[in-house]
């Protein structure tokens, strides 16, 4: 049985990169091969980055968000998620928004979170491992 894997925004952003070809290939492979989870926060962040930083047209972004929604299980960020994020912030010291991602991953029952924004290898709440799939020494089949 595959691990439940929560995907951070950067995984989806790299799927659209023409510069970061290695990271693009890794991202596409992960999305195709893993049991993927995201939250409504991730959908919002994808939309924001792709429209503002990547200057993509709204229709393109809508198609990407629809594809993410179709491939991944999407959890809602609610009051309990916010409270858990605040507890995680106090315990681990990450930014509030990173903790909101961690809280969503924990609530989804994920064993791993793929991101390059937090400490690779760290285990959160004894159940969720942070994995930087883009690190040069990281195996691409993990």
What Å distances lie between residue 19 and 72, 81, 104, 123, CA to CA? 25, 35, 30, 31
Going residue by residue through the chain, which has 142 residues, state the pLDDT in tens, using 9 for 90 and above.
Answer: 678 999 999 999 999 999 999 999 999 999 999 999 999 999 999 999 999 999 999 999 999 999 999 999 999 999 999 999 999 999 999 999 999 999 999 999 999 999 999 999 999 999 999 999 998 775 544 4
Q: What's the pTM value of the predicted model, to 2 decimals? A: 0.92
4-131: which CATH architecture?
Answer: 3-Layer(aba) Sandwich (3.40)
Domain boundaries in the chain? 4-131
């Amino acid at each position: 049985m595959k691990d439940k894997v929560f995907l951070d925004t950067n995984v989806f952003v790299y799927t659209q990169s023409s510069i970061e070809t290695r990271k693009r290939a890794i991202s596409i492979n992960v999305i195709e091969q893993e049991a993927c989870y995201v939250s409504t926060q991730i959908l919002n962040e994808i939309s924001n980055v792709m429209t503002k930083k990547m200057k993509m047209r709204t229709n393109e972004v809508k198609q990407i968000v629809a594809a993410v929604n179709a491939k991944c299980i999407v959890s809602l960020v609610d009051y309990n998620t916010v409270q858990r994020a605040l507890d995680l912030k106090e315990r681990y010291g990450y930014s509030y928004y990173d903790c909101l991602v961690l809280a969503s991953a924990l609530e989804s029952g994920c064993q791993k979170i793929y991101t390059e924004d937090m400490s690779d290898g760290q285990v959160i709440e004894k159940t969720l491992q942070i994995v930087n799939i883009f690190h040069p020494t990281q195996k691409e089949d993990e």
